[in-house]
Amino acid sequence: MKTTLKALALGAMIGAGMTTVAAATECIAPANPGGGWDFTCRQISQIMYEIGAVPNPVQVTNMAGAGGGVAYTHVVAERGNDADVFVAASSATTTRLAQNAFSGMKADQVRWLGTIGGDPGVIVVAKDSPYKTINDLIEAVKTDPSKNAFAGGSAVGGFDHLKVLMMMNRAGFKDVRAIKYIGVDGGADAITQTVGGFTAAMTGDISEISGFIKSGDVRALAVFAEERVAAFPDIPTAKEQGLDLVAMNWRGVYVPKDISDEEFNVWSDRLQKVAASEQWKKVMADNGLAPYTLIGPDFEAWVSNNISEIEQISRDIGIIK
């Protein structure tokens, strides 16, 4: 017999002798407490209630497993028309969907509600590197990819690797298999590869390597954000340098596919209010996030394009067929 998590929660409250009904709204964090998805759920949920976007506190449910796949499958299979649930997501979610890591699940089986902040990608080189701009590095890679490798804190095919491939693809370099990438265990190890001269550059999220930038061990050539990051105003965006690329480890949410357009619009309005709130601005400042707001149809279109690009690049490098 199928029993939803919401029913279990309600039953527990009745058993405890409570006479009021639990909060109708639920956010699913597809991971254990303490991670990025848990952070997204708890911060957005708390702010929604504080600013009056929802009438009752939001219940947060942690549903770890399969890198987000357990929660995704649960929503698709059991909550398809539940207008009271939303789910935390990030760039990892869409990357795994693009690479068919969720056992046949597809991106169009949910509705992508929006993103309201992100951890911008960044490209850095050693402090004594001859490359002064992102275009210097790109031209060097085009000339001789074998002598200009990249290091990153994700495995081959992961988001750090994909940022490099998208960067070179946008610059007109199509031979993605020629680009050398060394995946190591985290941003600190990737920085060591670059500072030690083993790679020409390192790619990661700005929050994980901010200390190395501040210390002067590395020099940032570009940040993959719409605007310069407030904490690092001297780092130019890739867009400023003529490269049309935004690569954020975005923080956002999706909702079940079969809710009505009216219900989807209600969620869009709620998320927009969170994005505009002083509370969310403080959360971003306190946690090193940059503004990145795409909500409703704009975000749905962006996700579709992003997944298509990742699918193609993943095929080109042999991650998927």
Contact yes or no for 203/163 (Cβ under 8 A): yes
Residue 204 phi/psi, 5° resolution? -170, -165
Q: What is the dihedral of CA 155, 238, 36, 80, to 10 degrees?
A: -90
Looking at every residue in the chain, the average pLDDT score rounds to 90
Contact yes or no for 193/217 (Cβ under 8 A): no
Residues 307, 309, 313, 315, CA torsion sign: positive
Among the residue ranges 15-29, 117-131, 235-249, 274-288, the one predicted with the least confidence is 15-29
Average of per-residue pLDDT across 9-13: 40
Distances in Å between the Cα of 278 and the Cα atoms of 50, 51, 250, 273, 282 are 11, 10, 19, 10, 6
Residue 98 token pair:
């693009």
Residue 293 phi/psi, 5° resolution? -110, 115
In this prediction, residue 184 carries a pLDDT of 86
pLDDT bracket for residue 139 (50, 70, 90): very high
What residue segments make up the domains of the chain, in order of their start? 5-9+17-118+249-316, 120-241
Q: In CATH, which of 3.40.50.11540, 3.10.20.30, 3.40.190.10, 3.50.7.10 is domain 120-241?
A: 3.40.190.10
User: Residue with structure tokens 């993103």?
Assistant: 115
pTM of the entire predicted model: 0.81
pLDDT bracket for residue 230 (50, 70, 90): confident
Query: 5-9+17-118+249-316: which CATH topology?
Result: D-Maltodextrin-Binding Protein; domain 2 (3.40.190)
d(CA 36, CA 92): 11
In this prediction, residue 243 carries a pLDDT of 96
Distances in Å between the Cα of 162 and the Cα atoms of 241, 256, 260 are 20, 28, 34
Judge whether residue 22 has pLDDT over 70.
no
